[in-house]
Chain A
Amino acid sequence: MNLNILIAGVGGQGNLFASSILSEYFINKGFEVLAVETIGAAQRGGSVVSHLRVSDSEIYSPLIPAGQVDILLGFEIIEMLRNFELLRADGSYLLNNYKEPTVLCNMELDTYPSDESIMAALQKSGKKGYTIKATECARQIGGSLLTNVVMVGALCQLSPLFDSQEVRQVLARKSPSKVREQNLKAFETGGSLISKATGQS
């Protein structure tokens, strides 16, 4: 078994927590896990990318080689697009339909791509994937900070590689007590979003 998951988002979206939940789940299953994040200057609203690699044999590079990403989790639209090239030909994506405008886009010095151009580019890529409104859901549950957990919940519903109940247990264990209930709710909501998701293929 070899699985490469790339999580692309911006600072403050809880990229690292999502990666740690999935890591622990696979470690518990007895797999080898190797992960790496771009951290440091990438905080403060910059791009944050987490590489998560799972295998039943030794893994060498902490960075997923280009064209070897199996699942691309996009916490933010252009951050996913920025890393789209890394997705393998038969890989799939799960996109949070959420735009975090760049400072330059805010001031009309740059242009955030239109919904139409994003859809067109994704369709042209021929890759299969789902788009869900994770941040919107997270806000309804208790705040945008829950986006990461909604996304993990959706991923577990989407891929047969995950035992949703077991991931839920890891999440419950790793959540600080004051946000545990909210996290579990976000996780379940994420799962239910998949049935309603827009699938592209």
Chain B
Amino acid sequence: MVTKEYLMGNEAMGRGAVEAGVKVVAGYPGTPASEVLEYVSTYPDVKAEWCINEKVALEITTGASLCRTRAMAVMKHNGTNVVLDFLMHLNYTGVRGGLVLISGDDPSGISSQNEEDSRIITHLDAHLPVFDPWCPQEAKDMVKTAFELSEETELCFVVRPVTRVCHARNQVTLEEVTAATGKEPFFEDDRSRFIMSALQEPKAGGALRPVVRHKWLNEKQPELSQIMEKSPFNHVEEGEGNIGIVACGIGYAFVKEAEKILGKKFPILKLGTLPLPRDKVLKFARQMTKLVVYEDSEAVVEGMLKQLLYDEGLQVKIVGRSGFLPREGELSTTVVLKSLATLYPELEKRIPETKPLEMKVPIRTRTQCVGCQYRGLLHALKLMARKTHGIVAGDIGCYDAGSFPPLELQSTIYCMGSSIPMATGIQYSGTKQPVFAIIGDSTFFHNGVLGLFNAIHNRVDMVAVVCDNRTTAMTGFQPHPGSNTDVHGKPAIAIDVARLAIAAGATSAQVVNPYDIPAVTKALKKAVSEKGVSVIVASMPCYLLARRTGDIGFTPRKVSLEPDLCNGCKICVTYFGCPAIHFSDGKATIDQATCVECGMCVYVCKRGAIT
């Protein structure tokens, strides 16, 4: 009997790996891909681990693969940037046990600092085979197939789902789970592969090893192309006309949806693999006068098609994300419909009419949760930065909301761990303004700690604030090296940030309670006056998490606001911004239904109106 289960795309991919007998799964949390590892961790036979960062995760899984064990690394596209250095060696060495890398892309940057197409890194740069699923079921099938093919070809396979595949929920077919034990683990030396160094290879006429292994990788490509030719993830659908629709990954979902709405069948070449199935592509292209390529999010397949058809001397116009379609943002049914209407004007009238509501709807910016300890920290730091004309370099995590209105605290936010090095550079510019860096604990361990070591070693004058809530709160409370439990909730060794900083040579490492605004202010004052790197660890478990266990970091106190004492200075909204504080008609009020009684606002109001 076929069993089906309603699963999220991420869970479906996790299930695919478990069915394939994966034994080691490692990753770093990141939307849209976090739930893959969380799902796998529910299977006791699988060694699942949240790692310090993505590069470490890929290195761990590669180590396992070399012992003939099936392994998988999971990350979002930013993480794939982080693994690039290792990936550019892993592609030369190849693997033993099936190795799969899941790289979740987030077109439109719905939950990201940027939008990026990781097919470029993994395929165009590393020349690894990539699967691009269009739905949860295919994502699962692709993961499973990737393990088989990875062992067959000795290459790491990449599965690149986009957010709408990762987060989609659908009935997915379940198959039997293969025992994770699989082959007996065995490491057999092969230094010609696993020692990546510029060594002359006698067997290759003295050629250097990097060249020999590069050749090995290049010679794999025709074999891969042959495999993709037979792959069920690529197919052709008959349709009217001679404009061919090339639908890649999630693009297929939107194209099929558009077909339904327009009531017209197009000739479709559905693609889910890189490299491309060369013969299938050429056969399709020969019947067409034009090809329209729908893909998220860069013109990757479009470019590859142009190259292939040019080499074949085939004159077919090819358009897509290089300009015919929007070059930025995620694909949608609307994008597909509008573009098809430019090719078939008679279809325009079949596009459902939408009328915007005739009113301005306010935007909703993300902010710290009501009760979040970091609101106190951000408030104190904002006042200190204002007083000292300080510059604050920020980092990735919940506390990044301090950079949005109303606080507008952090002046820079780039990628994981860039706060301390950027603060260093700002200080090196010769500015007389004090520099601050603010970084979360998970981000600190991810690679922020390197920037700290660099700043300490080079005697930089700065204040580095580490927001230590013992969890990766932004992505759903995954543990990190500062947490005392692992993904299974089992005890783990928590690395103490303050002790680490002192051991490294920081001038000071003050541990403060972020709810205690006067204490944070005092610590900041001391830190600003010091030479060298002064570290402040704002330490308190995440309120949302602590609330579940009843172990919150404050004694609840019901606060009230005396309207007569409120002079409308707005410090409580502009420099604190708690959603439970409202302001109207020149006075602040407390929304008791929203308030969680953390009591921080009592210290914020300089008039003593809040008690």
B570: CB under 8 A from chain A?
yes
Does A7 belong to the interface (CB within 8 Å)?
Answer: no
B367 contacts the other chain (CB 8 A): yes
A85-103 to B contact mask, C-beta < 8 Å, 1/0: 1101100000000000111
Quick check: is B171 within 8 A (CB to CB) of the other chain? yes
A63 with B164: CB separation less than 8 A: yes
Give complex CA distance A19, B169 in Å. Answer: 11
Stretch among B235-243, B252-260, B559-567 lining the A interface? B252-260
Residues 115 to 146 of chain A near chain B (Cβ within 8 Å): 117-118, 121-122, 124-125, 139, 144
B167 to chain A minimum Cβ distance, whole angstroms, is 5
**B32, A40: Cβ atoms under 8 Å?**
yes
Q: Are B253 and A107 in contact (CB under 8 A)?
A: no
Contact A65 B167 (CB under 8 A): no
CB under 8 Å from chain A, chain B span 165-184: 165, 167-171
Partner pick for B355 among A27, A81, A85, A144, CB 8 A cutoff = A85
A39 to B582 CA separation, bound complex (whole angstroms): 27
In contact, B573 and A62 (Cβ under 8 angstroms)? no
Contact A105 B254 (CB under 8 A): no
- Give the size category of B's interface with A: 35 or more
Within 8 Å CB of B354, what residues of A? 66-67, 85-86
Whether A106 contacts B168 by the Cβ 8 Å rule is no
Say whether B6 faces chain A, with CB atoms less than 8 Å apart: yes
Q: For residue B427, which residues in chain A have a CB less than 8 angstroms away from its CB?
A: none
A44 within 8 A of B: yes
CA distance A151 to B401 in the complex (A): 30
Q: Determine the main DSSP class of B at the interface with A.
A: loop
Q: Is the CB of B584 within 8 A of A62?
A: no
Which residue of chain A lies nearest to B401 when distances are taken between CB atoms in the complex?
A44
Q: What's the nearest-Cβ distance from chain A to residue B331, in Å?
A: 10
With A36-B168, A88-B352, A125-B357 in contact, is A60–B253 under 8 Å at CB?
yes
Tell me whether A33 is interfacial, beta carbon within 8 Å. yes
* Per-position binary interface string of chain B over residues 116-142, scored 1 when its CB falls under 8 Å from any chain A CB and 0 otherwise: 000000000000000000010000000
Query: Are B365 and A117 interface neighbours, CB within 8 A?
Result: no
When the two chains form the complex, which single residue of A10, A38, A103, A118 contacts B406, counting CB atoms closer than 8 Å? A103
Which of A39, A61, A112 makes the CB contact (< 8 A) with B167?
A39
Q: Which of B252, B365, B593 contacts A102 (CB 8 A)?
A: B365
Q: Which residues of A contact B257 (CB under 8 A)?
A: 60-61, 65
**Residues of chain A lying within 8 A (CB to CB) of residue B398:** 44
A157 interface contact, C-beta 8 A: no
A79–B357 alpha-carbon span in the complex (Å): 12
Hey, which chain A residues are within 8 Å of B581, CB to CB? 106
Question: Within 8 Å of chain A (Cβ to Cβ): is B1?
Answer: no
Contacts of B261 in A (CB 8 A): 65, 68
Is there an interface contact between B365 and A107, defined as CB atoms closer than 8 Å? no
Known: A32-B171, A106-B582, A113-B360. A41 touches B352 (CB 8 A): no
Complex CA–CA separation, A67 to B349 (angstroms): 13
Query: Please, which residues of chain A bring their CB within 8 A of the CB of B356?
Result: 84-85
Whether the pair A78, B362 counts as a contact (CB closer than 8 A) is yes
Do A111 and B164 have beta carbons less than 8 Å apart? no
Closest B residue to A46 using CB positions: B366
| A45 interface residue per 8 A CB criterion | yes
A163 near B: Cβ within 8 Å?
Answer: no
Known: A34-B168, A40-B31. A47 touches B364 (CB 8 A): yes
A21 CB to closest chain B CB (Å) equals 12
B352 touches A105 (CB 8 A): no
Q: Which residue of A lies closest to B256 (CB)?
A: A60
Q: Which of A25-76 contact B (CB under 8 A)?
A: 27, 32-42, 44-47, 60-63, 65-68
Q: Which of B256, B361, B367 contacts A78 (CB 8 A)?
A: B361
Q: Please encode chain B, from 24 to 46, with 1 for each CB lying within 8 Å of some chain A CB and 0 for all others.
A: 00000001100000000000000
Known interface pairs A41-B111, A61-B333, A84-B357; A46-B577 also in contact (CB < 8 Å): no
Q: How far is B31's CA from A67's CA once the two chains are assembled, in angstroms?
A: 28
Measured CA separation A103–B170 after assembly (Å): 35
Instruction: Compute how far the CA of A24 lies from the CA of B112 in the bound complex, rounded to whole angstroms.
Output: 31
Q: A-B pairs with the 9 shortest C-beta distances? A: A67-B352, A40-B111, A40-B31, A107-B573, A65-B333, A62-B168, A60-B256, A61-B257, A41-B111
Q: Besides the contacts A60-B254, A109-B406, what 8 more A-B pairs have beta carbons closer than 8 Å?
A: A27-B171, A39-B111, A40-B475, A41-B474, A62-B170, A78-B362, A86-B354, A125-B357
Task: Supply 7 A–B pairs (Cβ within 8 Å), ascending by A.
Answer: A35-B170, A44-B368, A45-B369, A62-B170, A78-B361, A78-B364, A89-B352
